[in-house]
């Protein structure tokens, strides 16, 4: 029986996140204070007392999610993963929990990722954005994006393959808007632009990849204790240089979460634990594998109820 910890990405930040952990567990308090010391300001004030607007500030959003997820995972004394996987930003927390990079190095990379990515979005040749499309086959969306690009001259890309029929597109704001309008006419259950300025996981982030890549090259990577499934190829990795190279490509490459989930199941993962503030990834796993069964987390710290656990039945493993 193999366990996977799943780390969600940007967007799962919530007011008050982590305050219970800080109050209940000395280990959590120590980790939060290490983040404060490293950043030179109290990110815990933003996490515990900040408004939604505070959490949405570029310098805060990604670091708060990273810190919360790594602390929550490190406080699990009774549940330990055999593999880890992170969705987009979540990959950095996954690398820390696997032991591939240090907590402080992960925080440094995440902060730089946020600032560099925002700068790339602000200086892009056109205004860029992202959109969610639900209810159409992936290959159909991919084909239509190319057609709409050719028809309108507005660049469009796949950003996230989140699950069958659940994807995120990216490109020029106008292109995303036109694509969403077309997909709704063509039978999508939902196709809406997201409140995100930027075209992440696309070639619009080329300059950001180069700048962040230089910082990643200077960062120490070691052989992780457990395999890390990475977004760029959906495969498990333990070689530090492979992990480093994939992380550099990560910022311009689509997130292959659908394939990552299938590959983990194929490789024998039977339990999935979402390490985050909500059930975003949990719902995706449940839709992909409807016969999964929820299990209670006995003998796990109270706050770890935020981690969701599902077990694949033996009949469904074949």
User: What does the pLDDT read at residue 69?
Assistant: 94
**CA-closest candidate to residue 305, choices 85, 72, 87:** 72
> Out of 3.40.366.10, 3.10.20.30, 3.40.50.1980, 3.90.950.20, which CATH number does the structure's domain 2-121+204-317 have?
3.40.366.10
Tell me, what's the pLDDT at 1?
A: 63
248/136 Cα distance (integer angstroms): 30
**201 counts as catalytic:** yes
237 is catalytic: no
Sheet holding 269-274, edge to edge: 236-237, 228-229, 83-86, 2-7, 269-274, 308-311, 293-294
**Residue 16 burial (CB < 10 Å; 0-12/13-18/19+)?**
exposed
**Under 8 Å between Cβ of 240 and 100:** yes
Listed as ranges, residues in the chain with pLDDT below 70 are: 1, 292-318
Catalytic residue among 87, 88, 170, 172: 88
Alpha helices in the chain (DSSP H): 19-24, 26-39, 43-49, 52-55, 58-74, 90-98, 103-122, 138-152, 173-185, 206-218, 240-249, 257-266, 280-288
Per DSSP, 225 falls in state S
Domain 125-197 in the same topology as domain 2-121+204-317: no
The domain limits of the chain are 2-121+204-317, 125-197
pLDDT at residue 310, rounded to an integer: 64
Q: What is the pLDDT of residue 292?
A: 55
At 294 the pLDDT is: 36
Decide: pTM greater than 0.85: yes
Superfamily the domain 125-197 falls into: Malonyl-CoA ACP transacylase, ACP-binding (3.30.70.250)
**Catalytic residue of the set 87, 201, 250, 253:** 201
First-to-last alpha carbon distance for the chain, in angstroms, is 14
Task: Determine the pLDDT at residue 15.
Answer: 86
Model confidence pLDDT, tens digit, residues 9-21: 887 788 888 898 8
Query: What is the reported pLDDT for 317?
Result: 42
Checking DSSP bridges between strand 308-311 and strand 293-294, what pairing results, if any?
A: antiparallel
């Amino acid at each position: 029986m193999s366990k996977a910890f799943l780390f969600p990405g940007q967007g799962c930040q919530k007011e008050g996140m982590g305050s219970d952990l800080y109050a209940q567990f000395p280990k959590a308090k120590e980790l939060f204070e290490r983040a404060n010391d490293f950043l030179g300001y109290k990110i815990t004030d933003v996490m515990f007392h900040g408004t939604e607007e505070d959490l949405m500030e570029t310098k805060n959003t990604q670091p708060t999610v990273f810190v919360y997820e790594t602390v929550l995972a490190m406080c699990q004394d009774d549940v330990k993963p055999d593999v880890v996987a992170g969705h987009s930003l979540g990959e950095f927390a996954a690398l820390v929990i696997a032991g591939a990079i240090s907590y402080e190095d992960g925080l440094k990379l995440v902060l730089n990722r946020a600032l560099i990515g925002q700068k790339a979005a602000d200086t892009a040749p056109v205004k860029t954005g992202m959109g969610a499309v639900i209810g159409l086959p992936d290959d159909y969306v991919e084909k239509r994006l190319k057609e709409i690009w050719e028809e309108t001259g507005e660049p469009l890309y796949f950003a996230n393959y989140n699950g069958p029929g659940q994807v995120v597109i990216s490109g020029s704001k106008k292109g995303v808007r036109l694509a969403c309008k077309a997909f709704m006419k063509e039978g999508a259950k939902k196709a809406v632009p997201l409140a995100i300025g930027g075209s992440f996981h696309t070639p619009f982030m080329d300059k950001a990849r180069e700048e962040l890549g230089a910082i990643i090259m200077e960062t120490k990577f070691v052989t992780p204790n457990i395999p890390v499934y990475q977004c760029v190829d959906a495969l498990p990795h333990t070689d530090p240089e492979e992990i480093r190279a994939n992380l550099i490509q990560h910022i311009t490459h689509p997130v292959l979460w659908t394939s990552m989930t299938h590959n983990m199941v194929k490789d024998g993962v039977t339990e999935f634990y979402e390490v985050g503030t909500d059930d975003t990834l949990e719902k995706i796993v449940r839709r992909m594998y409807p016969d999964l069964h929820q299990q209670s987390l006995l003998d796990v710290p109270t706050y770890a109820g935020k981690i969701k656990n599902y077990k694949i039945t033996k009949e469904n493993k074949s």
